[in-house]
Amino acid sequence: MKNLDDLLSEGVSGRRVLVRADLNVPLDGETITDDGRVRASLPTIRKLTEAGAQVVVTAHLGRPKGEPDPQFSLAPVARRLGELLGSEVALAGDLVGESAKSTVGGLADGQVAVLENVRFDARETSKDDAEREALAAELAALVGDGAAFVSDGFGVVHRKQASVFDVARKLPNYAGGLVLTEVEVLRTLTGEPKRPYVVVLGGSKVSDKLGVIKALLPKVDKLVIGGGMAYTFLAAQGHGVGTSLLQEDQIDNTKQLLADAGDKLVLPVDLVAADRFAADAERRVVDADAIPSDLMGLDIGPRSSELFAQVLSSASTVFWNGPVGVFEFPAFAEGTKAVAQSIIDGDAFSVVGGGDSAAAVRTLGLSEDGFSHISTGGGASLEFLEGKDLPGVAVLEGGA
């Protein structure tokens, strides 16, 4: 696939470049609580502006229902992007309407504009190819003749959406630095990773990770399970899990995974439980096979942290996706912090699989430099490891 350096070598001064970024940040009102994805978009945008391009950014935020919704406006993101770039970033009031046309038309070389949330237009996520293609055509027309498209939102490349897939077929397309790095790193994991290869999977639901677990089991040396999904595994072993998160419809699938995994699977041996899901709930450490019926597990326990750390200490390659406890509550964040710190303390090539794991690293005040790579795309990285085709990557490779 052609990349950003190829585009820069062709020359971008005076040209418009449409950049699909991943700016889907968590918000508290209009306050961004984690600007990691905005920061990750900076290198590509800076290279383009320094080379004299007129940069038009398209991105989504949250899950609006295909129509404008003020709570999902990209206004806070545009402000933060401007602060980080050290220059004003214009925000169009719409996606391809009159505001977008006047905003883009007013750009000077080296300036940046952000179009309003691409998911305010229902065609962005439509299953109808013609509807998506129509929106992509309008986006291409917006930036005009001589424009180029840079795909730099790895967190959305697993989606066949207008601003990710279809527009790449309408304009000369290039992989941004972020997408290129992500693909190269993940190909290291799907190729011949240095062994022992240890994967840590957390998060809430077994159903979300079923495919990737099946795909990874033949390839890994150890698969460590934590988070809410662990309770379905414990239930499949015949243990009571109290009021913990449980997917009863996945117990049979989980029993099969346990049978297939043999000694590769590592489960918690103790847990931190509480009588309610609350930050101020009283903590109680219990054995994983003896959870009281009136308690729910909210974190792995100290012996589990030691066990997981022991497994990770021998690893040469580590992939981690999903917190192993409710890290948003300080009382139930110790397990996730211990797992992260064990990876940092080790010598392994380590990849954090985006999403809540990346947020946990920042929320818990851990050094991002302690990991070899922190992905910006949780879902995309999992689908890549599962072996699925990612439409937003395939189109850049000319395979779509």
List binding-site positions: 22-24, 37, 60-63, 119, 159, 209, 297, 328, 354-357
Say whether 355 is catalytic.
yes
Binding residue positions for ATP: 209, 297, 328, 354-357
Has 379 been annotated as catalytic? yes
- For residue 398, indicate whether it is catalytic: no
Looking at 20, 37, 132, 160, which residue is catalytic?
A: 37
Catalytic annotation present for 37? yes
Binding residues for substrate: 22-24, 37, 60-63, 119, 159
Task: State CA 32 to chain mean position distance.
Answer: 17
Closest Cα to residue 114, out of 85, 144, 156? 85
3-state secondary structure string across 42-95? HHHHHHHHHCCCEEEEECCCCCCCCCCCHHHCCHHHHHHHHHHHCCCEEECCCC
Which residue in 210, 63, 57, 70 sits closest to 142, CA to CA?
57
Given a contact cutoff of 8 angstroms between Cβ atoms, the answer to whether 256 and 241 are in contact is: no
Strands 31-32 and 27-28, sheet pairing: antiparallel
Report residue 44 CA to chain centroid gap. Answer: 18
- Measured CA to CA, the distance from residue 21 to residue 208 in angstroms comes to 24
Q: Among 355, 377, 378, 392, which one carries the catalytic annotation?
A: 355
The single residue of 2, 46, 79, 205 carrying the catalytic annotation is: 205
Annotated catalytic residues are 37, 205, 355, 379
